[in-house]
Amino acid sequence: MFLTQFLTIILVHFLAMVSPGPDFAIVTRNSLVYSRKSGIFTSLGLGFGIMVHITYCLFGIGIIISKSIILFNIIKYIGAIYLIYIGYKSLRAKPEQETEKINEESFQKTLTKIESIKIGFFTNVLNPKVTLFFLALFTQVIDVTTPKIIQLLYGAEMVIMTFVWFSLVSIFFSNNKIKHKIFKVKHYVERFTGAVLIALGIKVALATRE
């Protein structure tokens, strides 16, 4: 039974993870605009966010959040405002100076490891759709009789899988050949991802518990 559950969780989580959304957009943005290191630490932040979702689902708090209109809306609107704020900052991106050399430092700017982790963490943990996804996972896929230790192992797998997948996304988009090709239009790429983040923020704001 546990093996069937485990394989189902892997499949369902993977399909949800690779679907375009705030997590993918923010990792892509930080990898392209800043650096591979920033993208990987953003992925680590996403993993920390997954830990939070798993923790409150294990303690049954996820059900309370999903049933409480006030709590759900608080998370929803904070998450929406955060995404729109990050998107707005990206929309203000300016072209690089013509005299600036195309090198790794050109992409790193000032985003630190902690800032990257915080961006990934808050992007994930404040997404109400992720809350509902994990609630559905822990109530419909994982049997209530499943021992907590097994559920913790399921959770650990999802955290690791999230970090690995988005680190691979970061490695791809931070490839020097790709970054050098987009260097002259980097500000347009950043503005585009900003518009995507704003659109996702609006989508989050309009999210319902259905």
Which of helix, strand or coil describes residue 35? coil
Between helix 22-33 and helix 186-205 the angle, nearest 10°, is: 160
Torsional sign, CA 92, 98, 100, 106:
positive
Mean pLDDT by 10 residues, the chain (210 residues): 84 88 91 90 96 88 73 81 82 58 49 92 90 84 82 92 96 81 66 81 73
pLDDT of residue 168: 96
Q: What is the pLDDT of residue 33?
A: 83
pLDDT value for 104: 46
CB-based burial of residue 83 (10 Å sphere; 0-12 exposed, 13-18 middle, 19+ buried)?
buried
The domain segmentation of the chain, as residue ranges, is 35-95+106-205
- Return the pLDDT at 195: 85
What is the reported pLDDT for 24?
A: 92
pLDDT of residue 87: 82
Residue 66, pLDDT score: 66
Could you tell me which residues come within 8 angstroms of residue 68 by beta carbon, excluding any fewer than 6 positions away?
none
pLDDT of residue 41: 96
What pTM did the predictor assign?
0.78
Residues whose CB is less than 8 angstroms from the CB of residue 62 and which lie 6 or more positions away in sequence, other chains included? 53, 56, 131, 134, 135, 138
Residue 119: both structure tokens together: 């961006």
Q: End-to-end distance of the chain based on CA atoms, in angstroms?
A: 29
Residue 163: both structure tokens together: 């970090």
Helices (H) and strands (E) in the chain, counts: 11, 0
